[in-house]
Chain A
Amino acid sequence: MKEIDYICIHLLFTVFNKTMRKIYLPELISINIKNFTLYPNGLNYEYDFVKGVNLIIGGNGMGKTTFVNIIKYAIIGHYKKQFDYTKTYKDRLIEKRILYPLNYFKNRMDDEFVKTENAKVIIHFNINQKRFKVERDLEEITLSSFSVDGNIIDGTLISQSKYEALNENDKSVFLQFKYEKLIEQYSGLLFDDLIFFVNEILFFGEDHKTILWNDGVTGSNVQNELFNNYFNSPELNRERQEAQRQAKYFDSLSRHRSEDIRAIRKVLDKVSNNDGSSDSTIDMIKFQSDIEDIDYEIEKIQSSRVSNDTRVSLLQNKLNELIINSNELEIQKNKTESELISKAWETLHPQYDIFAKNIEYNHICPICNKPNDNLFHDLLEHPNCCFSCGAEIEEITDDNLKKKYKDISNEYKNIHIQIQNNQKEIKQSDDLNRNLDNEFRVLDLKKRKLQTKLRAVEFSKSKNNENSDLQVFRDEIFRLEKEKDLNQEKSRIELARADLFSREIESQITQNVSKFSSLFSSFAESFLGVTCSLTFDNLNGTSKRRFYPVIDGRIRFYEEELSESQRFFIDHSFRMSILSFFYTTPTFYIVETPDSSLDISYENNAATVFLKFLKQPNSLIITSNLNNSSFVNYIVDNKEDICVSIIGLLDIAKQSVIQNTSEILLNMYRDIKSKISKNNE
């Protein structure tokens, strides 16, 4: 990437990004679902959203997920994913928005019931105080009409799938285009970014996709997208996304070429095997293929090295922490020791304490300065005995004091054992690094030898001017290699461009890390009951930083390091802390069956987390099949004065479905309903 590009981006950045962007997410007001026969007893169902908890209650199959999807559809349309690179087809870049299956809603309808017109949804929501009223057809996926602050907007109607197929230049007459533009104007977000927010951030579905650990290896790098939205202007963000798409495109082109090269090599292998004779072309190709394999091995070693380095780095930090803690314990221990009665002449040598410390921390005999682990263990096991002769130092008569001293000595001993173990682990990791380095050297040498052989063959070939039958293959591979390298290079450049944007905002994020972390802690700690915080670091060898959760003093790289419900609530806490931090106007947050994997001890905590989030006015939408009624009851019985309202699918679902529902569930439902209406009086 040229120097000038770096300068330009940096300048653009300093001009545009003096402050954080204000983003206005949709504030839900009310929804009206008509003629949707999945809810035959609610063919004109109206619901006003509350700032508080909106409970969607229904048994399995009653349409909770469908209801949630109707809400999302009403706001953004039938989009599953924002505009992005999807694939490369015959060398053509295909980028588009991805739609859900078009018959999704239709298929859920019950054709037993007669209806007068198509099923549709009308939703009212605010974006930065501007009232949007949007009507969409549920059977033919189309935006039917919309108004802003009462003014109906004109535009040609078109089905969503046809709209997606249009050229950019042809879109401007259509109603959908106008809708997108007005949303962009008032929300401060590009419409695609709104699709991103609604699908990825404001929604936690039953597939339980977390965003805190999502680093872009599978799926998009959500943290990166999220913060770029908040800290970058829409223009710069668009540029960055464009660069990312181009990078993926060139990368896939390069991989296609690799595939082709591999295919040809396979053929040549077969030929050479059948032939039995050696041909310099085949040799060359074999060398090249071997070199590529070695490169692959080297890459693996390098990435192991990086993750090992991170491990060592964390261990060193932990070691320092342990030593600091031991220092504190040591002072407590000394205090206790000095409370013991000391006799006039039989006192310790004035240097005894420091000698003991030398043994404990350095495992060295203080008299002869030679390493001595036995002294170390003895001293820890018998803290009240002279390390030199073993005699008991103090006669402790007070039982309480004795116990206190014993407890402290044990703690002290434990921490030293921990220190010892930590040091062993560090040593093991250092050894591992040494081994990896050796392996690297071996492979590197192998590679060099092969490269020499390859050059020798190339040289002799050019001298002898051999005319091989396989020349055409060789030429083809050569051509493909060139294309592959070219595309890889282009991809690298585009990726560097995109990364530059992300790195520019890093300093802005850094300034706010402690605020994010403290918000995160206040949510996460209510659930987990242990210290939680966020660290913003680059731990996987790239230069890009992202947030990692630190739970109970340990950093959790992978979501598998936590149990299911811990994982979800940490993710909720992360999302909520971001939404709280950037709060402008109320918005919504949808969680599907949050209580599904909770055990009894965490139910109350889970309710607390959500209620905390609602201290700032927002609409929380939770679905529940009352599997875990105590969780729901904690919410309903909340003492924080938070409003709870119910979307009772049990009332509007098909009669036969309701009849098949268990009595227990129905009773629970009725109880909750009556509690809520009592509270609202």
Chain B
Amino acid sequence: MNNNKELYYANEDILCITDNVKSIGWESIKEQSLQRIVYLVKVLYSFTHLNENIFGYYHFSVSLYGPFSGLIKNSVIYLKSDMFLLDTDDGGVKYNRSNSFVWKNVEKEKWIKTIILILGKYGENRIFGFTINDPLYKEAVENNQVRELDTSSPENRTIKVLNEFKQAFEETLSSTSFIDAEKYLDLYFEYIFSQIINKNHLHEL
């Protein structure tokens, strides 16, 4: 099938993620968490990058367990088949150090690493909360959307919300020149988490 090019891109990304989470102390990671991380990596991309979304080959849909992309599933199968990933006892996978891989795409690695360093604070079990509260995902669920999630567009709903978030800072604080985009992301996730734990509202999916 002609999709092999995309499969190999996905393979790179998945290995990059599994390697990076290892360096923050996660001994394994579940396949669903991989789905969720890649989703966030893709949907947030345009907040800090002006070029076209380099993760455009992923297509996400709403599913019971959060955002789902068939390509990620296929990639995990390939990686397990070739033993780049090994199964762990708790139902997850881990990066097989003995079958190592060299990252070619520096830009992708940098961005993936950035996202993981932000999400890492909250732990693997909290990532679900971030995806279902993602503005784009939420909107798709509310509207019973039957087409794929619009994660490629640089104007997607999540990016719009992030920009307004940033604007609120710019309008309120005396100086925001020291806050770069990554720090905004960090603050944004902290804000979302604060909303999750301060559930004064009915928590709806």
Q: Is B truly associated with A?
A: yes
Q: Mark A548-562, 1 if CB is under 8 A from B, else 0.
A: 001000010000000
Contact B68 A320 (CB under 8 A): yes
Q: Are A535 and B82 in contact (CB under 8 A)?
A: no
Contact A317 B4 (CB under 8 A): no
Q: Which of A363, A369, A513 contacts B144 (CB 8 A)?
A: A513
Say which residue of A362, A510, A535 sits within 8 Å of B78 (CB atoms). A362
Contact A366 B81 (CB under 8 A): yes
Q: How far is the CB of B199 from chain A (nearest CB, A)?
A: 18
Q: How far is the CA of A351 from the CA of B78 in the complex (A)?
A: 12
Q: How far is the CA of A537 from the CA of B78 in the complex (A)?
A: 35
Q: Is there contact, CB below 8 Å, between A319 and B146?
A: no
Looking at A313, A317, A366, A373, the one whose CB has the most chain B CB atoms below 10 A away is A317
CB of A70 within 8 Å of the partner chain: no
CB-based contact A320/B4 at 8 Å: no
Is A316 part of the binding interface, using a Cβ–Cβ cutoff of 8 Å? yes
- A314 contact from B3, B80, B147, Cβ within 8 A: B147
Question: Does the CB pair A323–B73 fall under 8 Å?
Answer: yes
Q: Nearest chain A CB to B92's CB is how many angstroms away?
A: 15
- Whether A354 contacts B144 by the Cβ 8 Å rule is no
Cβ–Cβ contact B1 & A363, under 8 A = yes
B162 at the interface (CB under 8 A from A): no
A498 within 8 A of B: no
Q: What chain B residues lie within 8 Å of A536 (beta carbons)?
A: 143-144
Residues of chain B lying within 8 A (CB to CB) of residue A513: 142-144
Task: Answer yes or no: B137 CB below 8 A from chain A CBs.
Answer: no
Closest residue on chain A to residue B82 by CB atoms: A369
> Cβ of A317 and Cβ of B147 under 8 Å apart?
yes
Check B148 against A313 for contact (C-beta < 8 Å). Answer: yes
Select the stretch in B57-65, B100-108, B122-130 that faces chain A.
B57-65
Q: Which residue of B lies closest to A420 (CB)?
A: B1
B145 within 8 A of A: yes
Chain A neighbourhood of B142, CB < 8 A: 510-511, 513-514
Contact (Cβ within 8 A) B81 A358: yes
Tell me which residues across on chain B come within 8 A of A358, comparing CB atoms.
Answer: 77-78, 81
B54-89: which have CB < 8 Å to A? 59-61, 63, 68-70, 73-74, 77-78, 80-83
| Cβ contact within 8 Å between A357 and B77 | yes
Chain B proximity mask over A637-650: 1 for CB below 8 Å, otherwise 0? 00000000000000
CB of B109, distance to nearest CB on chain A (Å): 23
Do A537 and B147 have beta carbons less than 8 Å apart?
Answer: yes
Binary interface encoding of chain A residues 480-518 relative to chain B, with 1 for a CB under 8 A from any of its CBs, else 0 = 000000000000000000000000000000110110010
Which chain A residues in 327-369 approach chain B with CB under 8 Å? 327, 351, 354-355, 357-358, 361-364, 366, 369
User: A313 with B147: in contact, given A320-B60, A362-B7, A362-B77 (CB under 8 Å)?
Assistant: yes
With CB as the reference atom, state the residue of chain B lying closest to A553.
Answer: B146
16 pairs across A/B with beta carbons < 8 Å? Answer: A313-B147, A314-B146, A314-B148, A317-B146, A317-B148, A320-B68, A320-B69, A323-B74, A351-B83, A362-B7, A362-B77, A423-B1, A510-B142, A534-B144, A535-B145, A537-B147
With contact pairs A319-B59, A320-B69 given, residues A535 and B146 touching in the complex (Cβ less than 8 Å):
yes
Q: Return the CB mask of A361-404 against B: 1 if under 8 Å, else 0.
A: 11110100101010000000000000000000000000000000
Chain B interface bracket (under 10, 10 to 19, 20 to 34, 35 or more): 20 to 34
Residues of A within 8 A of B59 (CB): 316-317, 319-320
Q: Is B134 an interface residue (CB 8 A)?
A: no
**Cα separation A545 to B81 with both chains bound (whole Å):** 44
The 0/1 profile, CB within 8 Å of A marked 1, for residues 133-154 of chain B is: 0000001001111111010000
Task: Specify which chain A residues have a CB less than 8 angstroms from the CB of B80 in the assembled complex.
Answer: 354
Q: How far is the CA of A317 from the CA of B70 in the complex (A)?
A: 9
Instruction: Name the distance in Å between A355's Cβ and chain B's nearest Cβ.
Output: 6
Name the distance in Å between B73's Cβ and chain A's nearest Cβ: 6
Closest CB of chain B to A48's CB: distance in Å?
Answer: 41
Inter-chain CA distance A357–B146, complex, in Å, is 27
**How far apart are the CA atoms of A514 and B77 in the complex, in Å?**
35
Chain A minimum-CB-distance residue to B80: A354
Supposing A321-B61, A427-B2, A514-B142 touch, asked if A355 and B81 sit within 8 A by C-beta, the answer is yes
Interchain CB contact under 8 A, A535 and B1: no
Contact pattern, A 294-328, Cβ under 8 Å of B = 1, otherwise 0: 00000000000000001001101101111110010
Q: A362-B7, A423-B3 are in contact. List 20 more A-B contacts (CB 8 A).
A: A310-B147, A313-B148, A316-B147, A320-B63, A320-B68, A320-B69, A320-B148, A323-B68, A323-B74, A354-B80, A354-B81, A357-B77, A358-B78, A361-B77, A366-B82, A369-B82, A371-B1, A513-B143, A537-B143, A539-B147
From the candidates B4, B63, B73, name the one contacting A371 in the complex (CB within 8 A): B4
Which of chain B's residues have a CB closer than 8 A to the CB of A321? 61
Residues on the B chain within 8 Å of A618, using CB: none
Q: Closest residue of chain A to B60, judged by CB?
A: A320
Determine if B70 and A320 form an interchain contact, defined as CB atoms under 8 angstroms apart: yes
**Given A354-B80, A357-B81, A358-B78; A550-B144 close (CB under 8 Å):** yes
**What residues of chain B lie closer than 8 Å to A537, measured between beta carbons?**
143, 145-147
The reply to whether A361 and B73 contact each other, CB–CB distance below 8 Å, is yes
Instruction: Name B31-74 residues within 8 Å CB distance of A.
Output: 59-61, 63, 68-70, 73-74
Judging by beta carbons under 8 Å apart, are A317 and B144 in contact? no
* B70:A319 contact, CB within 8 angstroms: yes
Chain B residues contacting A533 (CB-CB under 8 Å) are 144
Give B31 Cβ to nearest chain A Cβ, in Å. 10
**CB of B108, distance to nearest CB on chain A (Å):** 21
Contact of B146 among A323, A351, A510, A555 (CB under 8 A): A555
A357 to B3 CA separation, bound complex (whole angstroms) = 16
Which chain B residues in 1-26 approach chain A with CB under 8 Å? 1-4, 7
Interface residues as binary, A531-549 with B (CB distance below 8 Å gives 1, 0 otherwise): 0011111010000010000
Would you call A535 and B144 a contact (CB within 8 A)? Answer: yes
Contact of A317 among B2, B7, B61 (CB under 8 A): B61
